Structure 1
């Protein structure tokens, strides 16, 4: 669940992006997994859906390598784009499927929020078009 005010807008990275709608200080929590809000899905859950729902979920969810579960953010966090040098980073709590994200530097209102898919998505090659 997003913990800061955001908005969607056109992204130079990939079509639609998530943008800060407030100034965010370095170290501030920007997103936190909320079991009552965000969804955890098995591969079978996704396989049982009709197209285009399957493709949409696979495009917006990420695969947690430890649990084997797909995490689908219920809010607009699913529109956060990848960057090799992102302005947010995940903090994963031991024993938890998910943790939270923090700002790695001050982020100005209007700036696109980004993350590094390679650090948390075991299905990253499908999203970035890379081998592996």
Structure 2
């Protein structure tokens, strides 16, 4: 659950992102896991869900780092946070996150997905290679 005021807008990184509605000071707590707002979804439910729901979860949920067999789905703007190689937040301590530098109002809030999703680097590479392959197929290469 985000602990700061945010809004969703077009992102230069990808699609939409989450942006600071007001300045955030370095070291401020910006997020914490809250079971009332961050849903833990058993993988059996995910596997049995209709395709359109699985697609939503594939895009906006992530494997729970401390509860194997569950996915975390954030119901607030946190689910729109984009990955960055040099993020402005630190999610390395599971269960909470802080700003690692001052974040200006209107600035996109980013994180390193690899800090809470250990297979992200492998998945990210596979997704990039798959997209590249699909583009070559469309181009007839």
TM range (shorter): 0.7 to 0.9
Larger radius of gyration: 2
Residue 80 of structure 1 contacts residue 115 of structure 1 at CA under 8 Å; is this kept in 2?
Answer: yes
* CA distance in 2: counterparts of 1:13 and 1:121, whole angstroms: 19
Match of 1:126 in 2: 123
Over the aligned positions, Cα root-mean-square deviation in angstroms equals: 1.7
- Deviations 1:75-117, CA, capped at 9 Å, x for gaps: 110000000110011153xxxxx41110000000000000000
* CA distance in 1: counterparts of 2:112 and 2:91, whole angstroms: 9
* CA distance in 2: counterparts of 1:110 and 1:63, whole angstroms: 29
- Runs (4 or more) in structure 1 with deviation over 3 Å come to 125-128
Q: Are residues 42 and 123 of structure 1, via their aligned partners in 2, closer, same or farther at CA, if it must alter by over 3 Å? A: farther
Q: Determine helix, strand or coil for the equivalent of 1:41.
A: strand
Match of 2:31 in 1: 31
* CA distance in 1: counterparts of 2:34 and 2:65, whole angstroms: 19
Stretches of structure 2 that go unaligned for 5 or more consecutive residues are 130-141
